[in-house]
Structure 1
Amino acid sequence: MADSAGSAPRHRSRLRLRTAVLEREIKFRIPEERDAAAVCDAIEGAGFRLESSGLVTHEDGYLDTDDWILFRAGIALRLRREGERLTLQAKTIQSKTGEVLTRTEWAQEAPPTDPPWESLPNGPVAILLRPLAKLRVLARLTTRARVESERKMFRWLHERELLGSVTLDRVREAGTQNGGDSYRELEVEALDGAAAALEEVRAAVERRLDLHTSVESKLAAALATAGEKLPEMPERAYALYEGDRLADVAAKTLGRHLTRMFWNEPGTRLNLDPNYVHDMRVATRRLRTALQVFAMAIPEETRESLGRDLRWIGRALGGVRDLDVGLRRVAAMVSRAPEHERAALYVFARYLEIRRARRRVRLLRRLDSKRYEAFRERAQRWLDGGPTLWAPIAAPESASAAGGVHPALAPAYMVGPRIVAEWDNRMREACQEAERKSTPANVHALRIAVKHARYAVEYFAVSEGQSAHHRARQLARLQDKLGEHQDAATLLRHMRRYARTIPRRDRQLLLGARGVMDRLEPETRITRGELHELWELGAGADVT
């Protein structure tokens, strides 16, 4: 209940100052022509009870850097002022589920001064942001949007059981008072164990009022009140055109994937969603392939410098990502494993989590290193330089004898087919080797060859047309199939290492681990049917 001063209940705030909270809620944006009381009536009509618990006003300042590091990391950071109290709150932007928003929230006392800050008092938000320290986030914070809210609060009950809370907000841009645009939003937040009741509320409001839940984040809504919107990955400068030279395609391809790599770095550092590691790793892999595919358009010194650093950071990213894939696969195996194998899988998952934590520490050390900082600075110079920096146009000895034009300056549609054919041939050679002897090493080499062939096709798809897009999708499916074999082989290797650590006296655990290994072993092998499909796909790729 509200205290005598009408402020928000304090027990929940104290909990949030100690730890992260998993928040489950639904939101409804209420049109101006609708009566907000009708939504409350719909909730009570579904068999629930709302009990008023006070009225508060607060101001929220949404903080981020000029290049949106926090948003790119997947969190929104806000400074909430409620009377004399200042609270710093962070919340994940993406929900873990669909219509019911499931997000994690951290909160702690804020510094007494406005941002930027040199440091934060020790607390959940400070701990959360530590992996971003090298990016100097705190010292670069600025207020991106500021809103004021008038909040009516209700306790949400079923008979005498407290299920959670309902709040009704009137939100407007800070400082506009009654003259600015505003909107109303009703939130229903459930305590643990009340998720089913949350779904009942959603269904009741939708059925009675034809009002659907909103998934817009408060950050996006706050920016909208100021006439702004959240940023998108800046890739438009790297759009490809049919008339591009090979040097243009090379520069744009490298620029696009360097942009993706750096865009996903904050999320990789923060570690709230494994997809950031995946996307950053994919960007490094595509970059390394591009350096080989466009070798004639990129100076050797640049290729070697970029390649060394990308291989170095890519290995650290791959070490973490491989264990993410393994953990996901183990979770799927548990649901269908016999009882005697489940205990082994549960312990094995903890083993993988420990290894992942160690590899993540190594990854963060590399991201914080002077070598990575120098790589980022060089990459930015290359991005700013464009095709004239990438293409060795002052190398007449490399020009074709017929026309004296360096291949890098030729139209991509003329050079591309021959380049793609070269990678197709390499793929077929790897396929033949895997068919001759389908060892894990040969299957892995085949997967790499398919990946390179796929990327080469994609790099020239704009000039080659729809058939290239179709073929790239085929190669992607085959790459995924081969990836399943490789993932199984990697997991089997980890399982064998783990099994060697099980004490001999723990016979049940040993039997469970052996059962899991027996189940994984066939999944590491490739069938002749898959190899034949690869051979057929690569047939006829020669360019004369």
Structure 2
Amino acid sequence: MLEREIKYRIPKEGDAAAVCEVIEDAGFRLESSGSITHEDRYLDTPDWMLYRVGLALRLRVEGERRELQAKTIQSESEGVLARSEWTQAAPPIDPPWENLPDGPVSYLLKPLNSLGLLEQLSVRTRVESERKTFRWMNEREVLGSVTLDSVFQAGSHNGGESYRELEVEALDGADRALDEVREAVERRLDLHTSVETKLAAALAIAGERLPELAERERPYSLYEGDRLADVAAKTLGRHLSRMFWNEPGTRLNLDGNCLHDMRVATRRLRTALLVFALAIPEETRLVLGRDLRWIGRALGGVRDLDVGLNRVSEMAAKAPEHERAALYVFARYLEIKRARRRMGLLRRLDSKRFEGFRGRAQKWLDGGPSLWSSTAQPDATAGTGVIPPSLAPAYMVGPRIVAEWDNRMREACQEAERKSTPANVHALRIAVKHARYAVEYFAVSEGQGAHHRAKQLARIQDKLGEHQDAATLLRHMRRYARTIPRRDRQLLLGARGVMDRLEPDIRITRGELHELWELGAGADVT
């Protein structure tokens, strides 16, 4: 269910009745439907798993009635709060729980069960509200509801209310009326809508700090004097942290950025295993590399279809009518394929193999950079007086490593210039990615010039990515076109038109290849 509402935080000296008067003066009618008192118990894990994935989970207690409500935190639009909401009956006791009764919230949270979500849930904060409710009407038509909440921190009635909040929630089809109310209130009272949730307000009052990824990554900060082994250990630690930070959001599937960020983390980890081969034990590289390749393929399979669906949506907005029909059916084809791949991804994330990978990685993370550095010291040079590369300062070893990946990028560039096949363009994109990440890994010891060059490589990587994405989408479209019945000539013509539009986008230009060649030679191409 998509909830659409506007909210006003009423100032202490303000009059909530004035807002109601403005609504009625705008041509609407408010009918009182009574008052209620309820308590909202906001639930989350000790590490705020649900908040991190953009979800607020609350247990609403109203007398004997207990209801479990989940709601997305971020709005899908500006001006009007548009958030998805799921509701079902709650268990008779507070969490932690072993399981939930069947219902929309239970189904939503199911992908997080293997992370022990239900067993870790507890009440993180409580909010009590005294609510007056009104039916919001236009003549005889019910448009939605208006509620006025006097909000208290739980148990603080004797100390007075924390704040008052007025909400106007629209039913389907009443969006224009909601805009009219918002415009009238702003014009008459100079009162602007609030986007702060009750959860955020309660945590702010309680002085509760929410977790940030930057805090998780702080132990892996790089310094100019770090050894190669230190840079390797910290790089792996940082990207493993990012990978597991985004796992719950990837499972829940509410925000595509979580999947994207988890996939990028696995890519950077795989590249780090190659770039830091001198500093990472071979067994670690082999075991970690196999698992990252295995989970990375599943992540990439879903993410590639997200990119394809976005591209199809953009094409449909500009396409002629007969192509638009083909793109619409093609999008449904991709959505079905994505749903199947996502189920495969969840099976991998729930597997014993991934559980073992997570356990080993967590042990490395808990050990910290000192553990990584000690395991990276080779025994071959012990007692010889020769400092192994892994223990040399990164600023001494880094330039040689970066130069090696630059040379590989130039070789891939030559091959793509010789024969610009999709396979060669894909290999070139990977080579650019490796070169870019190698530069980024040593940016702290190499200085500002390295940051600038990494940005140049990222820009070209994105261009090559657009070619590769177009080639992937064209491949899917060709497969889909083969399923269209011959008698459906209009759909066939539309599909062929789309393929004709995609064909030029897969070709790499000589200008792009020249730019890459110059970058590989160390030139500034801005």
- SS across alignment from 1:57: strand
For 2:51, which of 56, 71, 75 is the aligned residue?
71
Q: Which residue of 1 aligns with 2:480?
A: 498
Query: How far has the Cα of 1:189 moved from its partner?
Result: 1.3
- SS across alignment from 1:167: strand
Mapped to 2, the partners of 1:530 and 1:45 lie a distance apart of 61
Q: Which residue of 2 aligns with 1:214?
A: 194
Mapped to 2, the partners of 1:81 and 1:272 lie a distance apart of 26
Cα deviations by residue, 1:196-249 (Å, 9 ceiling, x for unpaired): 222232233333333322222332222223221322122222222222222222
For 2:251, which of 269, 272, 275 is the aligned residue?
269
Higher alpha-carbon deviation: 39-48 or 50-59: 39-48
- SS across alignment from 1:193: coil
* Residues 1:422 and 1:394: Cα distance change in structure 2 (over 3 Å): closer
After TM superposition, list the pairs within 5 Å mapping 1:24-423 onto structure 2.
Answer: 24-179=4-159, 182-233=162-213, 234-391=216-373, 392=375, 394-398=377-381, 404-423=386-405
* Residues 1:336 and 1:399: Cα distance change in structure 2 (over 3 Å): farther
* Residues 1:57 and 1:340: Cα distance change in structure 2 (over 3 Å): same
| Paired residues of 1:424 and 1:541 also in contact (CA < 8 A) | no
Cα deviations by residue, 1:137-178 (Å, 9 ceiling, x for unpaired): 112211111110111212223344322222111112111222
Question: Residue type of the partner of 2:473?
Answer: L
- SS across alignment from 1:298: coil
Mapped to 2, the partners of 1:472 and 1:410 lie a distance apart of 24
Query: How far has the Cα of 1:400 moved from its partner?
Result: 12
Mapped to 2, the partners of 1:41 and 1:463 lie a distance apart of 64
- SS across alignment from 2:58: strand
Q: Which residue of 2 aligns with 1:533?
A: 515
Mapped to 1, the partners of 2:387 and 2:222 lie a distance apart of 22
Question: Residue type of the partner of 2:159?
Answer: G
Mapped to 2, the partners of 1:181 and 1:239 lie a distance apart of 44
Higher alpha-carbon deviation: 403-412 or 121-130: 403-412
| Paired residues of 1:220 and 1:230 also in contact (CA < 8 A) | no
Question: Residue type of the partner of 2:146?
Answer: V
Question: Residue type of the partner of 1:54?
Answer: G
Question: Residue type of the partner of 2:256?
Answer: P
TM-score scaled by structure 2? 0.95
Higher alpha-carbon deviation: 39-48 or 124-133: 39-48
Higher alpha-carbon deviation: 31-40 or 522-531: 31-40
Question: Residue type of the partner of 1:496?
Answer: R
Question: Residue type of the partner of 1:248?
Answer: D
| Paired residues of 2:308 and 2:469 also in contact (CA < 8 A) | yes
> May I ask how many residue pairs the two structures share in their alignment?
521
Q: Which residue of 2 aligns with 1:425?
A: 407
Mapped to 2, the partners of 1:125 and 1:341 lie a distance apart of 39
Cα deviations by residue, 1:77-97 (Å, 9 ceiling, x for unpaired): 100001110000011112111
| Paired residues of 2:281 and 2:376 also in contact (CA < 8 A) | no
Mapped to 2, the partners of 1:286 and 1:399 lie a distance apart of 31
Question: Residue type of the partner of 1:241?
Answer: Y
TM-score scaled by structure 1? 0.92
| Paired residues of 2:150 and 2:161 also in contact (CA < 8 A) | no
* Residues 1:492 and 1:42: Cα distance change in structure 2 (over 3 Å): same
Mapped to 2, the partners of 1:465 and 1:195 lie a distance apart of 52
- SS across alignment from 2:315: helix
| Paired residues of 1:86 and 1:112 also in contact (CA < 8 A) | yes
Query: How far has the Cα of 1:396 moved from its partner?
Result: 4.6
Query: How far has the Cα of 1:465 moved from its partner?
Result: 2.0
Question: Residue type of the partner of 1:517?
Answer: M
- SS across alignment from 1:63: strand
Higher alpha-carbon deviation: 173-182 or 232-241: 173-182
Mapped to 1, the partners of 2:152 and 2:301 lie a distance apart of 46
Question: Residue type of the partner of 2:378?
Answer: A
| Paired residues of 2:5 and 2:169 also in contact (CA < 8 A) | yes
Mapped to 1, the partners of 2:52 and 2:155 lie a distance apart of 28
Cα deviations by residue, 1:384-412 (Å, 9 ceiling, x for unpaired): 223333234542535898x6222222222
Cα deviations by residue, 1:103-133 (Å, 9 ceiling, x for unpaired): 1100011111111111111111111111112
Query: How far has the Cα of 1:378 moved from its partner?
Result: 0.2
Query: How far has the Cα of 1:279 moved from its partner?
Result: 1.1
* Residues 1:474 and 1:200: Cα distance change in structure 2 (over 3 Å): farther
Mapped to 2, the partners of 1:394 and 1:330 lie a distance apart of 50
Mapped to 1, the partners of 2:73 and 2:229 lie a distance apart of 38
Higher alpha-carbon deviation: 517-526 or 243-252: 243-252
Cα deviations by residue, 1:32-91 (Å, 9 ceiling, x for unpaired): 122222333333344433332221110000111112222223211100001110000011
Cα deviations by residue, 1:295-314 (Å, 9 ceiling, x for unpaired): 11111111111111000000
* Residues 1:541 and 1:413: Cα distance change in structure 2 (over 3 Å): farther
Mapped to 2, the partners of 1:206 and 1:421 lie a distance apart of 60
- SS across alignment from 2:380: helix
| Paired residues of 1:399 and 1:407 also in contact (CA < 8 A) | no
Mapped to 2, the partners of 1:457 and 1:45 lie a distance apart of 63
| Paired residues of 1:172 and 1:225 also in contact (CA < 8 A) | no
- SS across alignment from 2:445: helix
Q: Which residue of 2 aligns with 1:16?
A: none
Higher alpha-carbon deviation: 280-289 or 35-44: 35-44
Mapped to 1, the partners of 2:500 and 2:486 lie a distance apart of 19
Mapped to 1, the partners of 2:376 and 2:297 lie a distance apart of 33
| Paired residues of 2:219 and 2:368 also in contact (CA < 8 A) | no
- SS across alignment from 1:488: helix
| Paired residues of 1:400 and 1:406 also in contact (CA < 8 A) | no
Mapped to 1, the partners of 2:17 and 2:386 lie a distance apart of 78
- SS across alignment from 1:397: coil
Query: How far has the Cα of 1:518 moved from its partner?
Result: 1.1
Unaligned 5+ runs, structure 2: none
Question: Residue type of the partner of 1:150?
Answer: E
